[in-house]
Amino acid sequence: DTGVSQDPRHKITKRGQNVTFRCDPISEHNRLYWYRQTLGQGPEFLTYFQNEAQLEKSRLLSDRFSAERPKGSFSTLEIQRTEQGDSAMYLCASSYTEGNTGELFFGEGSRLTVL
């Protein structure tokens, strides 16, 4: 088990471009979470999936953001028409529901810089 992996680790893009991040959770985990973390702040919840179903979305997840988990395994987070305010670290976490005591396992994050 290699833990939660995220790709790419760093992305620099120009304002207005689209970007996509990928998250591969721990293999037996059925829940997957996306968070955003800006400099000097704690992670903020964006959305989460149980298997392929997206069960909750934060108000932070504007119309330019879309997340998918098509087969209940990996997930993608796409940001369309990026803005400078989207610059942040995007963190993915996973967990399982059976016997869970609430711990989330985090990846190392994908850092986005919008110029």
Partner 1 sequence: AQSVTQLGSHVSVSEGALVLLRCNYSSSVPPYLFWYVQYPNQGLQLLLKYTSAATLVKGINGFEAEFKKSETSFHLTKPSAHMSDAAEYFCAVSVDSSYKLIFGSGTRLLVRP
Options 20-28, 34-42, 67-75, 79-87: segment touching partner 1 (CB under 8 A) = 34-42
Overall residue count recorded for the chain in this entry: 115
Which burial class, exposed, middle or buried, applies to 70 when counting CB atoms under 10 A from its CB (0-12, 13-18, 19+)? exposed
Helix ranges restricted to H, 9-105: none
Q: What residues from 45 to 84 belong to the interface with partner 1 (CB under 8 A)?
A: 45, 48, 55-56
Q: Look-up: residue for tokens 């990996």?
A: 74
Query: Does the protein bind partner 1 through residue 91 (CB under 8 A)?
Result: yes
Binding residue count for partner 1, defined by CB under 8 A: 27
Binds partner 1 by CB under 8 A, chosen from 42, 70, 85, 99 = 42
Name which of 35, 45, 29 is nearest 92 in CA terms. 35
Query: Does the protein bind partner 1 through residue 23 (CB under 8 A)?
Result: no
Query: Does the protein bind partner 1 through residue 33 (CB under 8 A)?
Result: yes
Name which of 72, 58, 66, 57 is nearest 19 in CA terms. 66
Binds partner 1 by CB under 8 A, chosen from 29, 30, 68, 106 = 106
Q: Look-up: residue for tokens 């919840």?
A: 45
- List of residues contacting partner 1 (CB under 8 A): 4, 31, 33, 40-45, 48, 55-56, 91, 93, 95, 97, 100-109, 111
